[in-house]
Every structure is written in structure tokens, then in C-alpha cells.
Amino acid sequence: MTSLMTSSRSNQKHQRGAAVVMAMFVVVLCTLAISPLIWSLFSSAKTVQVAASRAQTREVALSGLDWARVILREDERVSQVDNLNEPWAVPLAESRVSEGLLRKNETESNLVDREAVLTGVIEDAASKLNLRNLGPDTAGQEVWDRVFVRLCELLNIPQDQQARVLAAIGQMYPKSRPEDDEDAATRLGGTVTRPPIPARRWEEFQGKFGIGEETWNQLKPYVTILPEVSPVNANTASAEVLYAVIDGIQYSDAQALLNSRERVTFREIGDIQAALNGSASLNNALITTKSNYFLVQGTAQVDEAVVRTQALLQRKDNRVYVVWRR
């Protein structure tokens, strides 16, 4: 009898142990089965959060662009010249803005306000040599070609690389219109070769048209591309660009112009001529003291989301238009 009772208790212990092991096994299986679901939910929540942050960051970036437009519009109202001492030329330092200030028609007060960080800079596009001026369809193209070559010689850019840039611009802005070519091709039974789409930024030349990386980097600080022919602003241009655009001066004369404009802003072409002491004659088609195009670069950040914006603005008829934005 005693032996049977002992055997029964032993069996019960084994059964309880097996039940515990089985329970642990079931828990492990459930954990393994649920873990991917938990991770998927966490990942989805994180994705939604990041997407929301990026959307809000884009709104902050657009606010920065509006900031630039307001400054440029106000500047035109109070000033007839553009120089580097004006408010638009002062970079926007890292500015922290409450996200709540950016919400429109928001009535809920229980939402957490996150901090949006915004930085930006406005650059006068007329401070650089506009490559659009080199197009064969441009009046005075030969003069602008000489300006470009003069700049390249100062920068020690090889002649073959100069020719490649000029050839690329020539393809983008041919003298004849595509529809004229089509008419001629129809009459002669030929085909038309379409010119490449005109570039909007110097970055579009990188690694193309046989232009070397070194040449691209050398020209980058001094050239731009605008929608129309435009002169160089003597109040904002570098010494290199001034040297190229003013025929008959030395590079040291161009550097002296920079020192002169720090003391007194050039308000008209005569002021530039006076600063040169009559050592060169200026071509009014090549140089000016006012700008119509400005490049804006900004960075906006909300949480971990960062959006970098670049835009070209045109100031015209007391309004500021966005020509392109990326």
C-alpha cells in the first residue's frame, strides 16, 4: 500500500514537471510568434512618426523660403542697388521655432510642441557669370565668350575643357529654333536632332559633356545659369568674376574694387569707373549694380527629419517669384 502511494506521488510530480515544461514551451512559441508582430507594429509606428516629421519639416523649409521672399521684396522697396551689406546678405543663423507657431487653424492645446530648427543663406546669382549669356542665340555672345575665356585663363582651366563647356552651352541654346529645323527637314526629307534641354544649375554639368571633375569644381564658385541673359553685379561679384568681366584691368585692380565697395557702395556704373581711376572702359551690358535673381539654400530639421532646400528666386515688378525649387 505504501509502495503504491509513493509511486502515485512520483507520477504526480512527473506530470506537474511535464506540465511546467509544456507551459514554458508554449510561452516560448507564443513569444516567437508574436515578436515579429510586435516589431512590425513598432516599425510601422516609427515609419509613421518619421513620415510625419518629414512632412512637418518640409513645411518649415517652405516657411524659410517665404522668409527669403519677404526680405527680398522689402529690400527692393527701400533700395535701388544690391550689395553685401543689406539684410538679405546676412545668413540666417540656427533659429529654433516652436512647431506650434507653424500650425494653421490649430485649436487643440494638448499637442506636444516640438522644436523646428531652421538655417538659411541668400546668395546674389548676379555675383557670378551667367552661362546663359554664352548661348549662340544671345546678342553680344562673342563678348561674353571672351569674358568666359578670360575667367578660365585666370583659373588655369585647359583650353579643351573651355571648348567643351562652350560646346555644351551652344547645344542647349542654338541659333535656330527646333520648329525651323523641322520645317527644313520636312522639305529636305531629313531628320531633326533635338538639342539637349537647357540646364537650370551648374550641378547638371557634373560628369557630363566631357567636362572633367577638376574643371567642374574650379568653375563652380564663379558660374551660374539663369533663365535669361544678365549682367554681373559689381557690388557682390568676386574679384575673379570682376577681372573677367572688366576688360583691360589686372587682377589686382579687381581686388582693389572689392576694397572700394566695402567703403562706398557702387550706386551706378560711373562709381565703378571712378574707383578704377579711368584705367578701363566699362561695357554697360556686362556690369550692373542691381540684381534680379537670388539663390536660396536652407536646412530645416524637426526631430530626426532633415530637409535641405535650394531655390532660385526672381525679383520682378515688386514681387518675388520661385523660378525653381529642389
Q: How high is the pLDDT of residue 307?
A: 76
What Rg value do the Cα atoms of the chain yield, rounded?
33
To 10 degrees, what angle do helices 159-172 and 141-154 make?
Answer: 150
Q: How high is the pLDDT of residue 31?
A: 54
Contact indicator for 81, 265 with CB cutoff of 8 Å:
yes
SS3 248: coil
CA 124 vs. chain centroid, Å, equals 13
The answer to whether residue 244 is domain-embedded is: yes
Q: How high is the pLDDT of residue 49?
A: 45
The answer to whether residue 115 is domain-embedded is: yes
Residue with C-alpha cell 512559441? Answer: 29
The answer to whether residue 36 is domain-embedded is: no
The answer to whether residue 42 is domain-embedded is: no
Pairwise CA distance, residues 46 & 302, whole Å: 14
Q: How high is the pLDDT of residue 326?
A: 87
The pLDDT tens digits along the chain (326 residues) read 555 455 555 555 555 655 555 656 555 555 555 556 554 544 444 444 445 445 555 665 566 788 888 899 999 999 999 999 999 999 877 666 655 544 445 454 444 556 777 788 999 999 999 999 999 999 899 999 999 999 999 999 999 999 999 999 999 999 876 555 555 445 545 555 677 889 999 999 999 999 999 999 999 999 999 999 999 999 999 999 999 999 989 999 999 999 999 999 999 999 999 999 877 889 999 999 999 999 998 887 777 777 788 899 999 998 999 999 98
Q: How high is the pLDDT of residue 56?
A: 54
The answer to whether residue 175 is domain-embedded is: yes
Domain count, the chain: 1
Q: How high is the pLDDT of residue 277?
A: 86
Residue with C-alpha cell 541668400? Answer: 122
Pairwise CA distance, residues 120 & 298, whole Å: 4
Residue with C-alpha cell 492645446? Answer: 109
The answer to whether residue 274 is domain-embedded is: yes
* Residue 107 lies in domain: 53-326
CA angle 130–205–61, rounded 5-degree value: 75
Other beta carbons within 10 angstroms of residue 241's beta carbon come to: 25
The answer to whether residue 269 is domain-embedded is: yes
Q: What is the pTM of this model?
A: 0.75
Residues with Cβ < 8 Å from 315, sequence gap 6 or more?
72, 73, 76, 291, 292, 293, 294, 321
The answer to whether residue 10 is domain-embedded is: no
